[in-house]
Homo-oligomer: A and B are copies of this chain.
């Protein structure tokens, strides 16, 4: 089957002179509907190589493309008006994607939708060898609660999501540590539960007694241009540092003055700093770094996933951080480590080894064969959740 297809590609290449087949391998025909499809939908599908195949009815369209991992793939129209085609093999885990129909970028009407890249759009799950840790299993489940609250800092009603562990409503005398867990740029407070499956990861860890049960608070860390900082004119590149000085200030105030007191008032928390952690991915990791360096009296455990690292200079400038923080966890995808864009503030592995030598309880984790994507962050969280609140 594979060989026949390969010969067919060679033939096309020879007779037509096109070269699209040159780098193509035979596609393995074992595609299955994705777990992120809308109920009852046959497409999109994923095969054992991790190729994503989409199909859409667009009888009058001239050109339809699948756009995934920053590459556009032309689809082919059949006689019935359906366009179909597939991508190159994708890394394991979750990927955002979209379709282009005659120049219009739209969500695939067959997929579930997720907030990322500053839009609600299509996402697809490529089955992973280690997917067991975030699978839905018949174990006791925690809840994910939508919580609306008034924020004085922003003079508005905000929304956060709160994970409470399985037994939260059973023993009403028990109190729990709290992790404040932040999404990345262009994402929002829905990301960690929808794309990250953080509730399932926790349910599974707690069922196996591998994690201390804790509450997780997921709020919106999106920043707007800070007041008092000169703003670049439209179309101009910013002349100052990027992101601009003070970009994380508003969320820091919101977290310290509104979110944490609101959570401690409404949930059965252990409200001392020993029982409070902060972590985040990408932009949320940078916020975690800035906020925990500025307020090491408020948090005791720190996780930064694909969002930079801490240096010995950080410790020297912030002795209280070195003294009080009980755990620093830095996670990265192996493909990110080859890409200087993600080494915010120096090589994260070297930095983490250096602060460990300087006496901190520091962990460096690498997710194999994943990039700046959710599989890296699911795995990083999975590791972090097994370490946090354990040396209280």
Interface locus among A98-106, A291-299, A319-327: A98-106
Since A39-B118, A61-B103, A101-B106 are in contact, a sample of 8 more A-B pairs with Cβ atoms closer than 8 Å, ordered by chain A residue number, is A38-B119, A57-B103, A57-B104, A58-B101, A61-B101, A61-B102, A144-B146, A145-B145
Q: Which residues of B contact A392 (CB under 8 A)?
A: none
Minimum CB–CB distance from A196 to chain B (whole Å) comes to 14
Sampled A-B contacts (23; CB under 8 Å): A38-B119, A39-B118, A40-B118, A59-B103, A60-B62, A60-B102, A61-B61, A61-B103, A61-B104, A62-B62, A101-B101, A102-B102, A105-B109, A106-B109, A107-B107, A112-B120, A113-B113, A136-B157, A143-B146, A143-B147, A144-B146, A145-B145, A169-B267
Q: Which residues of B contact A172 (CB under 8 A)?
A: 172
Instruction: Given A61-B103, A104-B58, verify A121-B149 contact (CB < 8 Å).
Output: no
Q: Is the CB of B144 within 8 A of A145?
A: yes
Mark A residues whose CB is within 8 Å of B: 38-40, 56-64, 81, 99, 101-107, 109, 112-113, 118-121, 136-138, 141, 143-150, 157, 169, 172, 188, 193, 199, 266-267
Instruction: Given A136-B157, A138-B150, verify A106-B106 contact (CB < 8 Å).
Output: yes
Q: Which residues of B contact A102 (CB under 8 A)?
A: 58-62, 101-102
Q: Which residues of B contact A193 (CB under 8 A)?
A: 146
Instruction: Give Cα distance in the complex from A150 to B147, angstroms.
Output: 25
The closest CB in chain B to the CB of A143 belongs to B145
Minimum CB–CB distance from A141 to chain B (whole Å) comes to 4
The closest CB in chain B to the CB of A64 belongs to B104
Q: Which residues of B contact A57 (CB under 8 A)?
A: 103-105
Minimum CB–CB distance from A10 to chain B (whole Å) comes to 32
Instruction: Give Cα distance in the complex from A143 to B266, angstroms.
Output: 11
Q: Is the CB of A121 within 8 A of B109?
A: yes
Contact of A60 among B63, B120, B143, B157 (CB under 8 A): B63
Minimum CB–CB distance from A198 to chain B (whole Å) comes to 12
Q: Which residues of B contact A99 (CB under 8 A)?
A: 106
Q: Which residues of B contact A136 (CB under 8 A)?
A: 148, 157
Instruction: Give Cα distance in the complex from A119 to B110, angstroms.
Output: 8
Q: Which residues of B contact A39 (CB under 8 A)?
A: 118, 188
Minimum CB–CB distance from A307 to chain B (whole Å) comes to 22
Minimum CB–CB distance from A140 to chain B (whole Å) comes to 9
Q: Which residues of B contact A148 (CB under 8 A)?
A: 136, 141
Q: Is the CB of B157 within 8 A of A138?
A: yes
- Most central of A62, A102, A112 by chain B CB within 10 Å: A102
Minimum CB–CB distance from A113 to chain B (whole Å) comes to 5
Minimum CB–CB distance from A25 to chain B (whole Å) comes to 30
Q: Which residues of B contact A146 (CB under 8 A)?
A: 143-145, 193, 199
Minimum CB–CB distance from A162 to chain B (whole Å) comes to 8
Instruction: Give Cα distance in the complex from A121 to B149, angstroms.
Output: 28
Q: Is the CB of B145 within 8 A of A149?
A: no
